[in-house]
Structure 1
């Protein structure tokens, strides 16, 4: 069975004859008759009662006519949806997501919903390495990432679209003299033991921090183990020996007794969009447009990501 045979069947039924159906379809009458015969043989029923004076639906044809119309309507609807998907007005966008800070991600999604109301967004929370691999394999269409440098080799096989930058924060004992500085410099904190998550917990963020020390000609002093952010901040506030850690905001800045949180002078963490090379598809173009609407001064281009094993830590987002 072919869709054109169903169209011919419906046309003959509605026009009451093969000649008028052929005129409506813009083809010769013999082609209509031939395809109807093939359809009848395929189904094993007579669709029309034919005499020299008229053509009318048989009982089988009368029963099958609404089914044929439903199939054609479904096929036409599917074609319209496919056209909308090709234009980016419909479809599914599979996006690797991150948390916060603020409502920026929500504003991006709101702008996307306004630009393409029928575009469905599937947001996936994955560790950064898994997130990037999912974009490479096509499991995700794009992924937001933090702390990856916008340079060759940072995400092999992908392009990084720089989006925006957010400050890094230092957390240190409230009674430490450096807590009085509104924006302490890395050089000031360099001799204080640093609680930094191990490299395997989040390679991009670890590289960002150690790279900042190298660029300043400094070597971090290794402090006690970093577990998750809440536990680490609690220990910083209660330990006898001073230490510090650094992080980026996810859901607001934490407030912990006896701990001071200060923005680090001159240090930021970049957020980028990881995509496969080549021209973006229609759904991805809508996403890029929405990102541009939220961060108009920082997008264009193709570009940048931190996670620990603890889901409660901003270092794990």
Structure 2
């Protein structure tokens, strides 16, 4: 059974004859008659009474007519949805998410909803290396990631940068900065650094360690192990002097006896990781939303 056979059935029924149906369909009458007979043979039914000048549906034809119309409507709906997916206006965007800072992700999703109301977003939260692996395998369409400058098989599209902060004991001489001047890495070179293991977040670990080499400095002595940010900050407040480096997720953690200083010339870049090549339609819509969110408002620089 072919869709065109059902379309011919509907046209003949509505026009009351094979000739008028052929005119409506812009094909020859013999093609309409031939396809309708093939449909009748396949179904084992006579669909039209051909004994009079005006062709009429048989009882079987009357019963099947609404089904044929429903199938044709479903096919048309399938074509429409496919066109919307091709345009990136409908479908599912499988997106790897990243925590904070601020409300950027929510603003991006709101802009995307304005651009493509029918596009559903399925967020996945996972470790950075896993997010990249899921994009590379095709399990995710795109993912937000921090830190990496290059990943084989993926394109990294820089979106925005956020400052990095040093957390150190509030009583340490470097903790006070009346003018808010950022700390330079050289000022911290003598202080043991609590840095999360590379296995926890390779891009961030490499970003921090590379910063010392870029600045022409020897890395600081390793401090006690980094566990979680909250536990590490609590230990920094009470243990012998040490420090850690981090980026904001939901504001600076309010930990007693710990001070925060921004680091000079050291930021972490958030990028959108996509597979190399032309991005799929849903990702193109996401890029449009990101452009809207990142563009300055009218009248601002």
Give the TM-score band, short-chain normalised. Answer: over 0.9
Q: After superposition, what is the alpha-carbon deviation per residue over 1:52-89, rounded to whole angstroms, capped at 9, x for unaligned?
A: 43321111111111111011001011111111221222
Question: Is structure 2 residue 51 aligned with structure 1 residue 55?
Answer: no
Contact 1:169 1:263 in 2 (8 A): yes
Distance 1:87 1:193 in 2: 53
Query: Which residue, 136, 156, 159 being the options, matches 1:160?
Result: 156
Instruction: Give how far 1:226 is off.
Output: 0.5
Please give the secondary structure, in 2, of the residue aligned with 1:163.
strand
Distance 2:206 2:169 in 1: 25
Question: Is structure 2 residue 40 aligned with structure 1 residue 40?
Answer: yes
Instruction: Give how far 1:12 is off.
Output: 0.8
Distance 1:138 1:175 in 2: 50
Instruction: Give how far 1:224 is off.
Output: 0.6
Distance 1:166 1:139 in 2: 28
Instruction: Give how far 1:232 is off.
Output: 0.7
Instruction: Give how far 1:131 is off.
Output: 1.3
User: Partner of 2:299 in structure 1?
Assistant: none
User: Partner of 1:12 in structure 2?
Assistant: 12
Greater shift in the superposed pair: 85-94 or 7-16 = 85-94
Distance 1:211 1:190 in 2: 14
Instruction: Give how far 1:279 is off.
Output: 2.5
Instruction: State the number of aligned residues.
Output: 292
User: Partner of 2:78 in structure 1?
Assistant: 78
Contact 1:187 1:218 in 2 (8 A): no
Question: Which stretches of structure 1, 4 residues or more, deviate above 6 A after TM superposition?
Answer: none
Distance 2:290 2:220 in 1: 36
User: Partner of 1:293 in structure 2?
Assistant: 292
Contact 1:93 1:283 in 2 (8 A): yes
Instruction: Give how far 1:16 is off.
Output: 1.2
List runs of 5+ in structure 1 lacking aligned partners: 298-317
User: Partner of 1:262 in structure 2?
Assistant: 261
Question: Is structure 2 residue 182 aligned with structure 1 residue 186?
Answer: no
Q: After superposition, what is the alpha-carbon deviation per residue over 1:259-278, rounded to whole angstroms, capped at 9, x for unaligned?
A: 11221122110111112222
Question: Is structure 2 residue 203 aligned with structure 1 residue 204?
Answer: yes
Distance 1:141 1:89 in 2: 15
Distance 2:170 2:230 in 1: 16
Instruction: Give how far 1:167 is off.
Output: 0.4
Contact 1:172 1:179 in 2 (8 A): yes
List runs of 5+ in structure 2 lacking aligned partners: 297-301
Distance 1:83 1:276 in 2: 22
Where do 1:122-133 residues align within 5 Å?
A: 122-133=122-133
Distance 1:79 1:221 in 2: 63
Distance 1:137 1:223 in 2: 37
Cα RMSD after superposing both structures: 1.4
Instruction: Give how far 1:46 is off.
Output: 1.3
Please give the secondary structure, in 1, of the residue aligned with 2:193.
coil
User: Partner of 2:228 in structure 1?
Assistant: 228
Please give the secondary structure, in 2, of the residue aligned with 1:40.
helix
After TM superposition, the score normalised by the length of structure 1 is: 0.89
Distance 2:103 2:27 in 1: 59
Please give the secondary structure, in 2, of the residue aligned with 1:140.
coil
Please give the secondary structure, in 1, of the residue aligned with 2:199.
helix
